[in-house]
Amino acid sequence: MGRVTCVALAILLTAAGLIASPPPPAAAAGVPEQEPNGGYDNATWLALGDTCAGRVGFTPDDASDYFRFNVSKQQQFTINVFVTATAGSCGLTIFRPSRTIFTYAMVPNAPFPWSQQRNVGEENGTWYLCVRGVNTTYSVSSSGSSVGPDQPPAVAIASPANGSEVATTTVAVSGTASDDHLVSRVLVYPEGAMPPVWTLAAGTTSWTATVSISGYVAQDHSVRIVARAEDSAGNFSTAVVTLTFTGDVPPPTPPRVDIISPEEGAAVWGLELVVRGLVTGSRPVTKVEVSPDGAAWATVTVLPGVDLRYSWNTTLDLAPGAHAIRVRATDALATGEATVNVTVLDPSTDRTPPTIAITSPAAYAVLPFLTFNVNGTAADDSRVVSVWVWVPTYPMARKLATTTDGWANWTVQLALTRGSYTVHAQAEDLNGNVANVSRYVNVAPPDDVPPRVSIHSPVSGDHLGTYQLVRIEGNASDDVGIDRILIDVDQLSGVEVPVPPGTTSYNWTAFVNLTYYGMSIITVSVSDKAGNAASDDIVVYRDNPHRSPGAGAPLASLALLAAVAVATLGRRGARR
């Protein structure tokens, strides 16, 4: 027993389901733990003031109980909490360890019993309810029951009764609806429209609506009225009554057919003539058909409709002369029709080529990428049937451009190596006439890759005898093209090796003079037109014919040679 100033408190909590969660604080001695399960048995109440301390309106000094329950979104629970005490005021809080859902402050002398409803099923896990009491004794009990998964609402049409007669096209409809939670709205409509022409009913559990059945009465005078009830969770159900209309049934409104192309009286080319248009109806259209000059009706392509508005198209092959093209659309009750008269021209008289232009890249453009798009336009008084693009000087097949509007605008992607090219495009019309256009471009992405060079002969460290003139061989390469190869000896101006323009790999040979006896450093430098450079060098020796055979070099000279060799190798690594 604890202290509280409440006479009675009844709290109705609606939560969603039950799920396993982290263990709650330990139960008071003698109070069994409530294990999570698929239904609700009885809550565990514990006298733990610290659990509720810190919540709104609670202090560590308050005597308080907490109520633990677990929720999940799989099913609904109804939990009733009852607090009975002597007199005065009361307060309570329901919370999750991370946040408070709602709080009732201390209410002195509140009228009792009273109840509230709260949905706490937005977050799974363990929840606590704290009851605060002051200056009196109180007792707490709880009970609950599982109500199962959320169910769709129930709906019924009370008036007019099924099978009854109506004399006017305006019908008053009434009925009832119910749900285990809340009926959010009721919609009423005559069956046959797609999407339905809804009327929002006045009221929910008891509702009324007035609907028009004009245009929905069948030739047998029957009409169906539908009522649809929806709940707050999005569930719905329907009820239907079939009525008999006693008045005169007007003929159903047929679908409206509009032929957009070709226009009335147009002179057209008959080969692969595209006929297209729209259909607008009050009911779903089942098919659209075409008949040129009284020929058998043929079904045409119909695209999915939005708000009973459909687009359609077909292709005809017509001989030169006058033609009447009929198009009809059919729904469940009626058929609508339209006709267009055209004159088909003799294709042998068409000597006018189409027009074609390249809009990008610009003429003489420098393109910074190896892959780029060529875009353009084309037009013809008959119809453009293709646009092809190619580069005559490049090993590639002709590429058919892509388009979404009959090549009025077209594009194609090309992938070329570096260089200058003339891009060609050709348009062809329905009668075989062609037109050409070309565009000069320079494919030159930035060059930041240095060239490569290596000396194959002689090998660094070779003794070349007493010869002064030495043959040097090696290879140079660059991904774009070699601009210059230069050979020097001991950092003195040397020999430039001629390189054919546009060469990307070159096996070169040159002759150089070794001016001095002893050690010499031969350096080969290569550069490209972008200024990138690389080099390779070797150390070779020319023998002195005036030195006695077998004479050893002084130690000081050997030390000097070693120092020069170390410096040379360091310079060689840096220049690479």
What value does the mean pLDDT take over residues 21-38? 30
Mean pLDDT of 366-392: 93
Reported confidence tier of residue 31, pLDDT bands at 50, 70, 90: very low
Q: For 7-32, what is the mean pLDDT?
A: 31
* pLDDT, the chain, mean: 75
Are residues 213 and 176 in contact, defined by beta-carbon separation less than 8 angstroms? no
Structure token digits, residue 380: 């013809």
Same topology, domains 154-245 and 355-443? Answer is yes
Q: Which one of 97-101, 538-542, 551-555 scores highest in mean pLDDT?
A: 538-542
Evaluate whether the domain defined by 355-443 bears CATH number 2.60.40.10: yes
Classify 50 in phi/psi space as left (phi over 0), alpha (psi -120 to 50) or beta.
Answer: alpha
Helix (H, G, I), strand (E, B) or coil at 421: strand
128-132, 233-237, 254-258, 268-272: least confident range:
128-132
Query: Is pLDDT at 221 greater than 70 in this prediction?
Result: yes
Q: CA 559, 560, 563 angle in degrees (round to 5)?
A: 90
- Length of the chain as a residue count: 576
If you classify domain 154-245 with CATH, what class do you get? mainly beta
pLDDT digits (tens, 9 = 90+) for 403-414: 998 899 999 999
What pLDDT shows up at residue 60?
41
**Of 75, 78, 66, the residue nearest 24 (C-alpha):** 66
**What count of Cα atoms within 13 Å lies in the side-chain half-sphere of residue 401?**
31
Question: Given this model, what pLDDT does residue 239 score?
Answer: 96
Q: What pLDDT score does 92 carry?
A: 52
Q: What is the DSSP letter of 306?
A: B
Cis preceding linkage at 113, omega within 30: yes
The per-residue pLDDT for 461 is 92
Q: Calculate what percentage of the chain has a pLDDT beyond 90.
A: 43
Q: Is the pLDDT of residue 428 over 90?
A: yes
List the structure tokens of 551.
Answer: 């004479």
For residue 91, what pLDDT is reported?
Answer: 52
173 — pLDDT class (breaks 50, 70, 90): very high
More confidently predicted of 145 and 373: 373
Q: What's the rounded Cα separation, in Å, for the pair 44 and 27?
A: 8
Hey, is 565 helix, strand or coil? helix
pLDDT of residue 128: 52
pLDDT tens figures, 479-513: 888 999 999 998 877 789 999 988 999 999 999 98
Does residue 362 register a pLDDT over 90? yes
Residues 6+ apart with CB under 8 A from 148: 75, 76
H/E stretch holding 147: strand 138-148
| CATH number of the structural domain 256-345 | 2.60.40.650
pLDDT value for 536: 94
Position 233 confidence tier, pLDDT thresholds 50, 70, 90: confident
Identity of the residue numbered 364 = Y
What integer pLDDT is reported at residue 466 of this predicted model?
Answer: 87
pLDDT of residue 354: 94
List of residues 6+ apart from 218 with CB closer than 8 A: 249, 333
Q: What is the mean pLDDT of residues 25-30?
A: 31
Which of 95, 83, 100 has its CA nearest to residue 11? 83
Confidence of residue 548 (pLDDT cuts 50, 70, 90): low
The pair phi, psi for residue 285, each rounded to 5°, is -85, 130
Q: What is the pLDDT of residue 283?
A: 79
Q: Which residue, among 369, 361, 366, has the nearest Cα to 411 in the 3D structure?
A: 361
- 338-366 burial, b at 16+ Cβ within 10 Å, e below that, comes to bebebebbebeebeebbebebeebeeeee
Q: How confident is the model at residue 267 (pLDDT cuts 50, 70, 90)?
A: confident
Q: Look up residue 497 and give its amino acid.
A: V
Residues 6+ apart with CB under 8 A from 108: 5, 88, 89
Q: How far does the chain reach from its first CA to its final CA, in angstroms?
A: 92
Tell the residue number behind the tokens 């005021």, with chain if given: 89
In this predicted structure, which of 202-206, 421-425, 431-435, 443-447 has the lowest mean pLDDT?
Answer: 443-447
Q: Tokens for 451?
A: 């060239």
Q: How confident is the model at residue 438 (pLDDT cuts 50, 70, 90)?
A: very high
d(CA 421, CA 443): 8
Q: What is the pLDDT of residue 391?
A: 95
Classify domain 452-575 by CATH number. 2.60.40.10
Q: What is the pLDDT of residues 42-95, one digit of tens each?
A: 333 333 334 444 444 444 444 444 444 444 333 344 444 444 444 444 455 554
Answer for the pair 292, 251: CB distance below 8 angstroms, yes or no: no
pLDDT at 137 over 60: no
75 vs 182: CA distance, rounded Å: 16
Instruction: Map out the domains of the chain as residue ranges.
Output: 8-148, 154-245, 256-345, 355-443, 452-575
Q: In this structure, are residues 216 and 192 in contact, taking their beta carbons and an 8 Å threshold?
A: yes
Q: Which residue has the higher pLDDT, 141 or 527?
A: 527
